[in-house]
């Protein structure tokens, strides 16, 4: 059982395919849209503030993604998720598709430093932003981050399938809160499921890294 995570909501003005634009573009009847808007109030003003609808696709579209500090020119389907593009085209396989709907966190990447579920984040929405995957934390042969080192020392992994997502969520946590209390650590990974049962080891690893002054660095 988990509570809501601290993930960024998906959608941005970059591609124009925001949730708000989708509501309009999906041909909802005015009455239905008004019904939703009337219910929320917030959506009403959001709809008014939405930039003009931009159609993306059909067909592949060239984009440039900044992944782990390097600019990558790619051609992607507008519907392709950031996860599938990074895994399939860049062969960065740390992030995993586990639930495919943003409920397990195994696909966690950082976009402009904030953790997102890359399985529900369109690749085209990542244009112009800094994408960091687990492979971007420490280059091959370079020293690991203090957090990664602490994960190893605290045995904060078993099968290892959730581990990249956990490492990314905890990296983001330490960047914004260098000495988190245990409930704050639990909240930071509330959206990351582990089936082997490594949570307590992860708490200990984050605490160890924090004591050593990790703050996301080496």
Partner 1 sequence: MAANTSEIKIRVGFGDSFRDLTVRIAEGDVPPYEPGTRFDVIGAAAPRLDAEAKVTGSARFTYDQNLPGLLHGKILRCPHPNANVKSVDLTAARAMPGVKAAISFPEVFRTEAVRFAWEGIAAVAAESEAQAEAALRAIAVEYEVLPFCVTREDAMKDGAPQVGRRNQQNVRRIYPEIPFTRDGTIDEKKEAARQVEMREAEAKVDRILKESDTVVQGTFYTQVQTHSPLETHGVVCTWENESLVCYCSTQATFAVRHELTHHQGPVRATNARVLCEYVGGGFGAKFGAGREGVAGALLAKAAGRPVKVMLDRREEHTTTGNRPDSHQVLAMAVAKTGEIRALRARSWGTAGTSPAGAGAHNDVMYELGEIDKIEYGVRTNANDARPLRAPGFPQGVFALEAMMDIAAASIGMDPIEFRKKNDAHPVRRAEYDIACERIGWAAKRGAPAVPRGGADGGRGVGPLRRGVGCASSLWFASGGGGAKVLVRVHKNGTVEVRNGAQDIGTGTRTILGMVVAEELGIRLADVATFIGDTNDPAGPGSGGSTTAPTLTPAARVAAHRAKRQLLDAVARAEGWDAGNLDLRGGKVVGRDGAALAREIDFRAACGLIAEDQIEVLGERPVLDKDHPNYGGLADTNAGVQCAEVEVDVETGLVRVLKVVAVADAGKLINPKLAESQVRGGVIQGVSYALYERRIMDRIEGRMVNADFEFYKILGAVDCPEIEVVLLDVFMGHNNTHVMGLGEPPVVATAAAVANAVAHAIGVRIHSLPITPRKVLAALAGEEVRG
**37 vs 110, beta carbon nearer partner 1:** 110
Residues in contact with partner 1 by CB under 8 A are 1-3, 77, 87-88, 91-101, 103-104, 106, 133-135, 137-138, 140, 144, 148, 151-153, 155, 157-164, 167, 183, 185-187, 189-190, 192-203
CB of 50 to partner 1, least distance (A): 28
**92 vs 172, beta carbon nearer partner 1:** 92
**138 vs 175, beta carbon nearer partner 1:** 138
Of 164, 154, 54, 76, nearest to 115 by C-alpha is: 164
CB of 39 to partner 1, least distance (A): 23
CB of 77 to partner 1, least distance (A): 8
The dihedral of CA 34, 40, 43, 48: what is its sign?
Answer: positive
CB of 137 to partner 1, least distance (A): 7
Residue 69, C-beta contacts closer than 8 angstroms, at least 6 positions apart:
130, 136
- Token pair for residue 13? 């003005």
**41 vs 183, beta carbon nearer partner 1:** 183
C-alpha 73/C-alpha 101 separation (Å) is: 26
**35 vs 217, beta carbon nearer partner 1:** 217
Q: φ and ψ at 16, to 5 degrees?
A: 85, -10
C-alpha 117/C-alpha 142 separation (Å) is: 27
């Amino acid at each position: 059982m988990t509570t809501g995570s601290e993930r960024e909501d998906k959608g941005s003005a970059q591609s124009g395919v925001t949730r708000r634009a989708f509501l309009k573009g999906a041909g909802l009847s005015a009455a239905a849209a008004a019904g939703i808007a009337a219910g929320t109030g917030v959506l009403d003003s959001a709809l008014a503030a939405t930039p003009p609808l931009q159609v993306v696709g059909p067909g592949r579209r060239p984009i440039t993604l900044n992944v782990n500090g390097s600019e990558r020119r790619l051609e992607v389907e507008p519907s392709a998720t950031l996860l599938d593009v990074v895994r399939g085209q860049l062969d960065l396989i740390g992030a995993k598709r586990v639930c495919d709907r943003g409920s397990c966190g195994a696909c966690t990447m950082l976009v402009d430093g904030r953790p997102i579920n890359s399985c529900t984040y369109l690749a085209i929405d990542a244009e112009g932003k800094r994408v960091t995957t687990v492979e971007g934390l420490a280059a091959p042969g370079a020293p690991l981050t203090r957090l990664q080192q602490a994960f190893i020392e605290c045995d904060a992994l078993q099968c290892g399938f959730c581990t990249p997502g956990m490492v990314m969520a905890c990296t983001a946590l330490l960047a914004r809160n260098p000495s988190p209390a245990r409930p704050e650590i639990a909240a930071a990974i509330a959206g990351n499921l582990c089936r082997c049962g490594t949570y307590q080891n992860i708490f200990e690893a984050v605490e160890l890294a924090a004591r050593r002054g990790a703050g996301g660095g080496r």
